Amino acid sequence: MGSLHDYTQLTDVALRSIREPAEGLFIAESSKIIRRAHAAGLVPRSFLTSPKWLFDLADLIAEHDVPIFIGTDAAVESLTGFHLHRGALAAMHRPSLPAVSELVADARRIVVIEDVVDHTNVWGSKPAHGGAESSNTSRFSRSEAADPVVDHILEPTTGSPATDHLRTRANSVENVPLEVAKSALNRKRRSRIAIFENIVDHTNLGAAFRSAAAIGVDAVLVTPSCADPLYRRSIRVSMGTVFQVPWTRIDSWPDDIDLIKEYGYVVAGMTLGEGAISLDELVAEDHPHLALVFGTEGQGLTRQADRRLDRRVTIPMMHGVDSLNIAASAAVAFYATR
């Protein structure tokens, strides 16, 4: 059951990045995004809105027997930490993520995001990182703050109970046998996987998801230290397309590059490192199954990931520009290799 606690301190990125996954929730902001999440089969645990936006979601709210918190604009801002001008908020249950093997087997195009932990940015190509693999910078050590006192917020007890709650993905996912997946994959004309490594900016991550959805990438993989695609800002920047592109988090990175190769993918990393071919040259090779890897903001691909690549690829730059923002470079690469 949802509570007002779900909506406290929404602007504290470090705290929410720890709390939300641990508590099995994420926050959808605006009626449009709430509807997209609902259309994807995700289930709300509560709603928070001002009176003027309540009726905009009345049909959807009526489908679920969950708390509805209604407050003045000032009360909602005091609770969340920001002025809500996009309609409403919903605390929603996180979906169960599929296994990497299942997603790769089912995908025709996939994107993998390696350890990007800032939901705003997914930077462009950078030279391969010469040091050890990047650590997770999203850790938060201070204890959770108590709920602020918020006046004029009501929890109605009336409402239409839901007849059948929508279910998220199955609680347990069985791995698809490799030979079965290979056989199915070989029958597909083309498939694309993109890998984002260590991205830490929520805005860039959301923008990369939006590009993946718009250009037809079949799935997204994010590495262990990558920012949360279901963080509120990531979802908002993606315009809710994070609910439309299949994605999952890689448990073992970069070791699972070898697993991706076993499913028939050529793994190409975007980098300015030595031995890189141009994006045009990669396109000319016309690989039927291609996985594109994008490194973290600033440092690019880790050494551990770089040494497992089949191809190193660069987007030629002009006028002294060394690289593109990761969201921009991802969009260019997705379109070129579609």
CATH number at residue 271: 3.40.1280.10
pLDDT at 335 over 70: yes
Q: Which of 300, 256, 271 is nearest to 131 (CA)?
A: 300
* Statement to judge: residues 84 and 182 lie in one domain: no
Domain boundary among 59, 94, 129: 94
> How do residues 35-80 score in pLDDT, each as one tens digit?
999 999 999 999 999 888 888 899 999 999 999 999 988 888 889 9
300-310: b (≥16 Cβ within 10 Å) or e:
bbbebbbebbe
Domain boundary among 33, 60, 94: 94
pLDDT at 92 over 70: yes
Per-residue pLDDT at 143? 34
| 11 against 2, higher pLDDT | 11
pLDDT confidence tier of residue 148, bands split at 50, 70 and 90: very low
As a whole number of angstroms, the distance between CA 205 and CA 320 comes to 26
| 145 part of a folded domain | no
CB 247 within 8 A of CB 193: no
Per-residue pLDDT at 275? 86
CB 209 within 8 A of CB 234: yes
| 143 part of a folded domain | no
| 149 part of a folded domain | no
| 220 part of a folded domain | yes
Angle at 304 between CA 250 and CA 206, to 5 degrees: 45
Determine what percent of the chain is predicted with pLDDT higher than 90. Answer: 59
User: What's the N-to-C CA distance of the chain in angstroms?
Assistant: 43
Averaged pLDDT for residues 2-18: 90
pLDDT at 20 over 90: yes
Number of domains making up the chain: 2
* Statement to judge: residues 233 and 287 lie in one domain: yes
The parent domain of residue 107 ranges over: 100-138+168-336
| 301 part of a folded domain | yes
As a whole number of angstroms, the distance between CA 217 and CA 332 comes to 12
| 150 part of a folded domain | no
Query: Residue 114 is encoded by which pair of tokens?
Result: 């390696």
pLDDT confidence tier of residue 272, bands split at 50, 70 and 90: confident
Query: Residue 189 is encoded by which pair of tokens?
Result: 């004309």
Query: Residue 239 is encoded by which pair of tokens?
Result: 């315009």
| 161 part of a folded domain | no
Per-residue pLDDT at 114? 61
Choice among 73-87, 156-170, 186-200 with the minimum mean pLDDT: 156-170
* Statement to judge: residues 116 and 198 lie in one domain: yes
